[in-house]
Amino acid sequence: MTKFEYIIITIGNYTQAQLNEFESHCSNLFDYARYNKDKTKYLLKLPLNKPTPESFTPLTRYNSNEILTLLSSNEWQSVDSSSSDVSIADIDAADAARTPDGE
């Protein structure tokens, strides 16, 4: 089975082309990756069975236990990192539109 390591990308440090290259070698996408509170850092998952370009060399690689410890820090908590979720505003808007005999 494929083994993985995790890397954290500070997106402000890279060009769009570099970000695309990171993503192309990882098994998850920026769009659905976990990110920190201020959305400056993203967590990517790197398979170990494929070669990676030199751009990965400076990046710290974490195993599962290490990354879980890091993610438990305040910087990475209390953020809903899914871009697919519906916002509270959406729900509030629908709530306001409810009919009196509805809910």
Partner 1 sequence: MRVFAPRSRRTPSFSGRSVLLDGVSDYIDLQGGTIDTSIRSSVFWRPSRNRVKTSPFFRPASWMFWIKVPAAELTAIKLERTNTGEGIRPIIKEQGADFTSGGDGYTWPGNHIWLVGAGTDQVRVAAGWGRQGNATVAKRILRYGSTNVQADTWMQICVAWTGTTDQDTVNYDPGINMWINSYAQTMTAFYPDGTDSGELTTFPLNSGYTSGPPATTIEASNFNIFAGCNIGRNLNNHTNMYISECAFWENYELTNDDVTALYNSGDALADITTNSGNYTGGDDIAATINNLTFSGNPYNNGIFRVTDAAGTAKDYRFYSDGATGTPSGYANGESVTDSSGTSVAVHFNGANGTSANFAAALTGSAGHGGTIIPSHPTSASIRLTQQTAGPTGNVKWGIRPYVLGSGQDETNSSATTIFSRFSGSFTGGTQPLAQWWKFNGPATDATDNRLQASGKAVDSSTEFPNTSYWQYAWTSASLNTEPALIMGGTWTTDFPTELI
Three-state DSSP class for residue 64: helix
Smallest gap from residue 57 Cβ to partner 1 (A)? 22
Side chain identity, residue 78 = S
Report d(CA 35, CA 46) in Å as an integer: 16
User: Minimum CB separation from partner 1 for residue 79, in Å?
Assistant: 6
User: Are the C-beta atoms of residues 18 and 49 closer than 8 Å to each other?
Assistant: no
Nearer to partner 1, 57 or 84 (CB): 84
Give 53 or 88: the residue with its C-beta nearer to partner 1. 88
Interacting residue ranges for partner 1, rule: CB under 8 A: 1-2, 4, 6, 11, 16, 19, 27-34, 39, 43, 45, 64, 67-68, 71, 76-86, 88, 90-92, 94-95, 97-99, 101-103
Decide: 103 and 91 in contact? Cβ < 8 Å: no
